[in-house]
């Protein structure tokens, strides 16, 4: 159950412009990357698919009940649009490791995953986090910003920024652990 | 040897997530926004028509009145483009429609004249959507509002942002929006920020930052370069036939400082000098320098004043 996502959907249904901006800015880039990876890096196709995805999702927004995170729910629409794309083009779809439950734990360091694929999966994981968590992690560990600088960017106090960073790390660690456990379960079965 | 933090190592090795081309983002955003807006309007229309249908059971004439509730296309918002810098696609005088989005690039600024006469100025890399003649949605960047001589208590400007809606009460203020927070600085008068039902009042000289969790930081508005860009796109006033004193009042106001004459007689003289010509197309500094040069008076900018002196 995602109360924050449900509230965001409710505000969008009520016509709140801020909610629309929050949804679009928070989820469009991740959704685009989700589609891009599945259409053989065809940027025009990804754009078309994500636009169709968001339009379809907005039409069905009143049916969103918050059972899954909003991004997960949007990905369901996106998968449908990607399938339609491959049907239209009469070509074989791109198959990705993380779409197969048995190899969903491909993030496990013991597996011989190509470096690029690992990076892509980390990006997938970041896209699944709340946008401000992902931004905080990137600023801290990729851009090397100090907590003070992160606080400035997020318009937060240093204490609040530290707290956000801690929650972001926990969420990242938890996401990573889920992938690892899923892999172990796949191997054991 | 220090062991690397595994999260840091994983993120560092993976690098930043690839971004999405801004033009693609704009295209998709516009298309999705239209669909969302239409959906909201349809739902509201259905609610209105349902209520009208119920009333029709009692008074038929009332139901006939609802025929006029059909949606119309976008209509003019009463907002026009006043001045642009670095942009060809939106010439001054252009009338904007309700729902229209104005976006500036890395070298573009735009000044709009809102329905109530307010000056609404967009900084570089800013996107603003026109909701009505006095209501706007700031999607990114920074916007400056100057209500000019607009009387407090009249219809003010409303700027909606993801972090709250700002309403002016006869004032000049600057709103800067980042993905992770909102900053509001007030130069004159007072504004209020409606943050999810909570009202935050900000008076002249104050600055407030609001983060996504609603945390508020209040401070003294610094007199820093954050204000400077608003002059770059300040709509030029018509000087033909105008008294020098009026022009100096305008210049001081745009700069956010007081106007000071070195002697009372000089103030009297400035009120009596009638200007000729035009400052159209000049930058703010060029306009002030040019006009003062024709009057034989000198001027200098001090920290808090425009000082006019005799030669």
Position A45 scores a pLDDT of 93
Q: How confident is the model at residue A57 (pLDDT cuts 50, 70, 90)?
A: very high
Position A104 scores a pLDDT of 43
B130-154 b/e (C-beta count within 10 Å ≥ 16 → b):
bbbbbbbbbbbbbbbbbbeebeeee
Contacts of B131 in chain A (CB under 8 A): 17
- Nearest Cα to B119, choosing from B90, B157, B164? B157
- Do the Cβ atoms of A28 and B33 come within 8 Å? no
Nearest to B17 among A15, A126, A172 (CB): A126
Residue ranges of A 84-113 with Cβ closer than 8 A to chain B? none
Position B69 scores a pLDDT of 39
Q: How far is A22 from chain B (nearest CA, A)?
A: 6
Distance (Å, rounded) from C-alpha A72 to C-alpha A31? 10
Q: pTM of this prediction?
A: 0.48
Q: How confident is the model at residue A169 (pLDDT cuts 50, 70, 90)?
A: very high
Return the residue of B nearest to A160 by Cα.
Answer: B215
Contacts of A51 in chain B (CB under 8 A): 27-28, 31-32
Q: How far is B99 from chain A (nearest CA, A)?
A: 11
The rounded percent of chain B whose pLDDT value lies above 90 is 9
- Nearest Cα to B194, choosing from B160, B159, B164? B164
Residue B1: enclosing H or E segment and its boundaries? none
- Do the Cβ atoms of B24 and A43 come within 8 Å? yes
The mean pLDDT of B151-173, rounded to a whole number, is 77
Distance (Å, rounded) from C-alpha B244 to C-alpha B50? 61
Both tokens of residue A129? Answer: 């986090």
Position A88 scores a pLDDT of 81
Count of beta carbons in the 10 Å neighbourhood of residue A28: 21
The mean pLDDT of B122-130, rounded to a whole number, is 89
Which ranges constitute the DSSP H helices of B158-283?
Answer: 229-232, 244-255, 264-272
- Do the Cβ atoms of B14 and A118 come within 8 Å? yes
Least confident piece of the model among B45-49, B87-91, B260-264: B45-49
Distance (Å, rounded) from C-alpha A39 to C-alpha A129? 23
Contacts of B222 in chain A (CB under 8 A): none
Contacts of A15 in chain B (CB under 8 A): 40, 44
Position A188 scores a pLDDT of 41
The mean pLDDT of A127-136, rounded to a whole number, is 87
Q: How far is A92 from chain B (nearest CA, A)?
A: 25
- Do the Cβ atoms of A155 and B211 come within 8 Å? yes
Position A52 scores a pLDDT of 93
Nearest to B179 among A25, A54, A173 (CB): A25
Position B17 scores a pLDDT of 86
Per-residue pLDDT tens digits for B140-157 = 889 999 887 654 455 688
* Optimal mutation site among A4, A18, A49, A52, interface B, most CBs of chain B within 10 A: A18
Residue A72: enclosing H or E segment and its boundaries? helix A70-89
Return the residue of A nearest to B213 by Cα.
Answer: A156
Position A180 scores a pLDDT of 59
ipTM over 0.90: no
Distance (Å, rounded) from C-alpha A79 to C-alpha B273? 72
What is the rounded average pLDDT for all residues in chain A?
81
Distance (Å, rounded) from C-alpha B218 to C-alpha A100? 51
Q: How confident is the model at residue A77 (pLDDT cuts 50, 70, 90)?
A: very high
- Do the Cβ atoms of B39 and A122 come within 8 Å? no
Q: Which range scores top for mean pLDDT: A27-31, A63-67, B53-57, B182-186?
A: A27-31
Contacts of A32 in chain B (CB under 8 A): 20, 24, 28
Q: Which range scores top for mean pLDDT: A29-38, A109-118, B79-88?
A: A29-38
Q: Is the pLDDT of residue B251 over 80?
A: yes
Q: Which range scores top for mean pLDDT: A148-157, B24-33, B149-158, B213-222?
A: B24-33
The mean pLDDT of A126-137, rounded to a whole number, is 87
What is the rounded average pLDDT for all residues in chain B?
80
Q: How confident is the model at residue A110 (pLDDT cuts 50, 70, 90)?
A: very low
- Nearest Cα to B268, choosing from B297, B241, B301, B288? B297
Position B237 scores a pLDDT of 83
Return the residue of B nearest to A51 by Cα.
Answer: B28
Position A53 scores a pLDDT of 95
Q: Is the pLDDT of residue B158 over 80?
A: yes
The mean pLDDT of A98-127, rounded to a whole number, is 61
Q: Is the pLDDT of residue B61 over 50?
A: no
* Residue B225 or B134, more confident: B134
* Chain centroid offset of residue A78 CA: 12
Both tokens of residue A14? Answer: 């009520």
Position B57 scores a pLDDT of 46
Q: Is the pLDDT of residue B218 over 60?
A: yes
Nearest to B39 among A58, A127, A138 (CB): A58
* Optimal mutation site among B18, B30, B32, interface A, most CBs of chain A within 10 A: B32
The mean pLDDT of A70-78, rounded to a whole number, is 90
DSSP state of B180: T
Q: How far is B280 from chain A (nearest CA, A)?
A: 36
Distance (Å, rounded) from C-alpha B309 to C-alpha B5? 65
Contacts of B40 in chain A (CB under 8 A): 13-15
Q: How far is A99 from chain B (nearest CA, A)?
A: 20
Residue B211: enclosing H or E segment and its boundaries? none
Contacts of B36 in chain A (CB under 8 A): 12, 20, 58
The mean pLDDT of A75-99, rounded to a whole number, is 80
Per-residue pLDDT tens digits for B199-209 = 888 888 888 88
Per-residue pLDDT tens digits for B279-294 = 877 888 888 888 888 8
Least confident piece of the model among A144-158, B12-26, B50-64: B50-64
The rounded percent of chain B whose pLDDT value lies above 70 is 84
Direct distance between the N- and C-terminal alpha carbons of chain B, in angstroms, rounded to an integer: 72
Residue A15 in contact with partner chain B when CB distance is under 8 A: yes
Q: Are A25 and B32 within 8 A, CB to CB?
A: no
Q: Are B115 and B79 within 8 A, CB to CB?
A: yes
Both tokens of residue A70? Answer: 């909003």
Both tokens of residue A28? Answer: 């469009």
Return the residue of B nearest to A119 by Cα.
Answer: B14
Both tokens of residue A118? Answer: 């690992």
- Nearest Cα to B236, choosing from B252, B249, B250? B250
Point out which residues pair with B188 in neighbouring strands: B172
Which ranges constitute the DSSP H helices of B123-201?
Answer: none
Q: How far is B298 from chain A (nearest CA, A)?
A: 42
Least confident piece of the model among A8-12, A55-59, B49-53: B49-53
Return the residue of A nearest to B130 by Cα.
Answer: A17
Position B112 scores a pLDDT of 95
Burial of residue A92 (CB within 10 Å: 0-12, 13-18, 19+) is: exposed
Position B46 scores a pLDDT of 63
């Amino acid at each position: 159950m995602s109360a924050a996502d449900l509230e965001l959907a409710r505000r969008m249904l009520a016509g709140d412009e801020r909610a629309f901006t929050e949804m679009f800015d928070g989820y469009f880039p991740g959704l685009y990357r989700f589609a891009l990876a599945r259409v053989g890096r065809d940027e025009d196709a990804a754009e078309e698919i994500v636009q169709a995805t968001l339009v379809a999702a907005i039409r069905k927004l009143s049916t969103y009940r918050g059972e899954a995170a909003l991004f997960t729910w949007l990905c369901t629409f996106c998968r449908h649009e990607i399938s339609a794309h491959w049907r239209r083009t009469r070509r074989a779809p791109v198959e990705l490791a993380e779409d197969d439950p048995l190899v969903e734990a491909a993030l496990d360091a013991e597996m011989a995953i190509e470096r690029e694929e690992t990076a892509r999966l980390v990006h997938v994981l970041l896209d699944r986090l709340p946008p401000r968590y992902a931004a905080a992690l990137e600023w801290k560990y990729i851009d090397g910003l100090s907590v003070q600088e992160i606080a400035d960017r997020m318009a937060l106090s240093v204490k609040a920024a530290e707290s956000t960073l801690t929650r972001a790390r926990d969420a990242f660690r938890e996401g990573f652990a889920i992938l690892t456990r899923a892999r172990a379960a796949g191997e054991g079965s | 040897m220090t062991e690397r933090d595994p999260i840091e190592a994983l993120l560092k090795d993976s690098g930043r997530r690839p971004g999405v081309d801004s033009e693609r983002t704009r295209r998709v955003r516009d298309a999705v926004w239209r669909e969302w807006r239409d959906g909201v309007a349809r739902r509201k229309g259905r609610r209105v028509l349902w209520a009208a249908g119920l009333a029709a059971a009692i008074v038929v004439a009332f139901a006939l009145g609802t025929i006029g509730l059909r949606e119309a296309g976008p209509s003019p918002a009463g907002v026009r483009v006043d001045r642009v810098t670095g942009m060809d696609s939106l010439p001054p005088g252009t009338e904007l429609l309700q729902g229209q989005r104005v976006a500036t690039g890395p070298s573009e600024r735009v000044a709009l004249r809102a329905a109530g006469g307010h000056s609404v100025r967009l900084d570089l890399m800013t996107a603003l959507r026109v909701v009505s003649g006095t209501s706007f949605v700031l999607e990114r960047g920074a916007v400056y509002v100057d209500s000019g001589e607009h009387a407090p208590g009249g219809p003010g400007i409303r700027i909606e942002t993801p972090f709250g809606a700002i309403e002016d009460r006869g004032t000049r203020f600057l709103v800067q929006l980042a993905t992770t927070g909102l900053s509001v600085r007030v130069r004159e008068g007072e504004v209020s920020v409606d943050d999810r039902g909570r009202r935050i009042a900000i008076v002249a000289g104050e600055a407030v930052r609001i983060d996504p969790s609603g945390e508020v930081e209040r401070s003294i508005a610094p007199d820093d370069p954050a204000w400077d860009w608003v002059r770059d796109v300040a709509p030029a006033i018509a000087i033909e036939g105008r008294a020098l004193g009026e022009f100096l009042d305008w210049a001081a106001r745009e700069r956010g400082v007081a106007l000071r004459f070195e002697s009372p007689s000089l103030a009297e003289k400035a009120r009596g000098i009638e200007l000729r010509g035009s400052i159209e197309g000049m930058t703010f500094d060029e306009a002030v320098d040019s006009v003062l040069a024709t009057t034989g008076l000198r001027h200098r900018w001090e920290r808090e004043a425009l000082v006019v002196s005799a030669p």
